[in-house]
């Protein structure tokens, strides 16, 4: 249910909306740069991946973080979260055998404003 005009939504709802906006913006930027979006919010019992994109022979598993600054966004990707993304990526590749020969990369998209996206390519290597 929406709040009456003039009242702000609770912080959690605002954060969820900002996160959805950041993911949609990131997907748009990726499409415009020649990527094909393979999955959005890919969920498995072992983890979740915000975006999965492919360009040429590279499949990118992308974690999207929206924060006030790039530093805050970068710090928001924990070791635990990286491991969950890696496990989910393994699941995705297991079920998409045609992509198993592609190069795999783990990226982070730092969203710091309504239209500002910075990519950290190869943000970490798979263990």
Tell me the pLDDT tens digit for each residue of 16-71.
899 999 999 999 999 999 999 999 999 999 999 999 999 999 999 999 999 999 99
Strands (DSSP E) found in the chain? 36-44, 47-55, 58-66, 103-113, 116-124
Q: What is the dihedral of CA 47, 48, 53, 56, to 10 degrees?
A: 0
CATH topology of domain 11-124: Trna Endonuclease; Chain: A, domain 1 (3.40.1350)
C-alpha angle 10/15/21, rounded to 5°? 130
Q: Counting runs of H as helices and runs of E as strands, what totals does the chain give?
A: 3, 5
Look up the pTM and report it. 0.89
Phi and psi at residue 47, to the nearest 5°: 165, 180
């Amino acid at each position: 249910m929406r709040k009456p005009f003039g009242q702000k939504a609770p912080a959690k709802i605002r954060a969820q909306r900002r996160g959805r906006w950041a993911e949609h913006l990131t997907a748009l930027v990726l499409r415009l740069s020649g990527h094909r979006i393979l999955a959005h919010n890919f969920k498995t019992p072992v983890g979740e991946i915000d975006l999965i994109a492919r360009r040429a022979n590279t499949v990118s598993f992308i974690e999207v973080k929206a924060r006030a600054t790039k530093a805050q966004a970068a710090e928001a990707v924990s070791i635990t979260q990286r491991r969950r993304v890696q496990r989910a990526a393994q699941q995705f590749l297991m079920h998409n055998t045609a992509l198993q020969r592609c190069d795999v990369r783990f990226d982070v998209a730092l969203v710091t404003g309504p239209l500002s996206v910075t990519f950290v390519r190869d943000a970490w290597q798979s263990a």
